[in-house]
Amino acid sequence: MTEAAMAVKVREPTSRWARIRATLEAWGFMSPAIILVMVFFFLPVIILFVISLTSLSSSNFGDPLTFIGLENYVRLFRDKFFPKILGNTFRYVFLTLGFFNVGLALVLALLTTHINRRAGFFFRVMWLLPRITPSVIYILMWRRIAHQPPFGIINQLVTPLGVEPQYWLFKQPWLFVILVNGFVGASFGMIIFTSAIEAIPKDYITAAKVDGASTLQIIRDITLPMIKWPLLFVTTYQTLSLLASFEYILLLTDGGPGLYKTEVWSLTAYHRALKTYFGHNQWGYGAAWGFVLVGIGIAFAVVYLRVFRFNELVQEPKIDVL
């Protein structure tokens, strides 16, 4: 801050014109970013809202827009599959979050910080693989793992144990939807929790050990309370990302098998508006589904800024040491 103040002093505008010039210069640096953010963030939010108030679909594309008020939103709540999709969304978000993005992430962070440093690093890097593997190939791997006999890898592994071979992906679509997303999602929390755990002063742990605390007691009474904020941050951040993400479900089950078996909210918006089963794009209706998520996203943004003092938390895991 002092440095910043000094630097500003260097160019302290002497006159009003100089100040205006400095501001223009700054906006010059900013302009490419601002234009793209305007065109691909702001404008889309407005377009999405406007379209959600119209009956725009591929059957009347090109005609003047017909505004139908909030009809799309009413229709959304009356949709025959609304309860099912809502239930699916909750199931997807909470099970993935609980078991993987926060649960497993925490377990992995604890395990990898309790073993040899280099081994811990190795396992964390391995856990990064699902995230950097192209989604199409990643799903291809899982589909072969859960494939029908004689091709499936699970079948090959469990048949000697006396388990009936079957088409696992078809039989247990939800299990695999959650596994597939969870294996990608766990690494985010794992990395953040790891740096939080490593930042806990060693004295605390040593003191507890001296007093005869067991590993589990140390985790419960020292580690967990000290990483409370990162835990909360990862939970909210990942709730929002999961709520909006559908790429892996799209590739794995495409909402099936059967009618809306694994269809979640964001996938519904995408299906209705852009990739329909029957080739009829209902942009207006799909936009209504999408805009509900945008509203939730904006609500979350307020939470980040108010509750988390976002700046400090996001700054922490950033690459500052290379």
Q: Give the number of other Cβ atoms within 10 Å of residue 11's Cβ.
A: 12
Q: Give the number of other Cβ atoms within 10 Å of residue 43's Cβ.
A: 11
157 near another protein, rule: CB under 8 A: yes
229 near another protein, rule: CB under 8 A: no
Of 183, 197, 223, 253, the one binding another protein by CB under 8 A:
183
152 near another protein, rule: CB under 8 A: yes
112 near another protein, rule: CB under 8 A: yes
- Distance, CA of 47 to CA of 65 (rounded, Å): 12
17 near another protein, rule: CB under 8 A: no
- Distance, CA of 144 to CA of 12 (rounded, Å): 64
Specify the residue, 200 or 235, whose C-beta has the smaller distance to another protein: 235
Residues 6+ apart with CB under 8 A from 94: none
1 near another protein, rule: CB under 8 A: no
Residues 6+ apart with CB under 8 A from 218: 205, 208, 209
- Exposed / middle / buried, residue 168 (Cβ in 10 Å: 0-12, 13-18, 19+): buried
162 near another protein, rule: CB under 8 A: no
Q: What x/- string results for residues 240 through 269 when contact with another protein is judged by CB under 8 A?
A: xxxxxxxxx-xx--------------x--x
18 near another protein, rule: CB under 8 A: no
Q: How many CA atoms lie within 13 A of 3 on its CB side?
A: 0
- Distance, CA of 51 to CA of 45 (rounded, Å): 10
Of 18, 37, 65, 163, the one binding another protein by CB under 8 A:
37
Q: Which of residues 75-104 bind another protein (CB under 8 A)?
A: 96, 101, 104
Least distance to another protein, CB of residue 204, Å: 15
- Map tokens 């922490």 to a residue: 316
306 near another protein, rule: CB under 8 A: no
Least distance to another protein, CB of residue 37, Å: 6
- Distance, CA of 300 to CA of 196 (rounded, Å): 23
169 near another protein, rule: CB under 8 A: no
Least distance to another protein, CB of residue 226, Å: 18
279 near another protein, rule: CB under 8 A: no
- Distance, CA of 283 to CA of 212 (rounded, Å): 64
Produce one character per residue of 224-253: b if its CB has 16 or more CB atoms within 10 Å, e if not.
Answer: eeebeebbebbeebbbbbbbbbbebbbbbb
Least distance to another protein, CB of residue 66, Å: 16
* Interface segment toward another protein; rule CB under 8 A; list 34-42, 64-72, 79-87, 220-228: 34-42
Least distance to another protein, CB of residue 198, Å: 12
Of 89, 169, 185, 263, the one binding another protein by CB under 8 A:
185
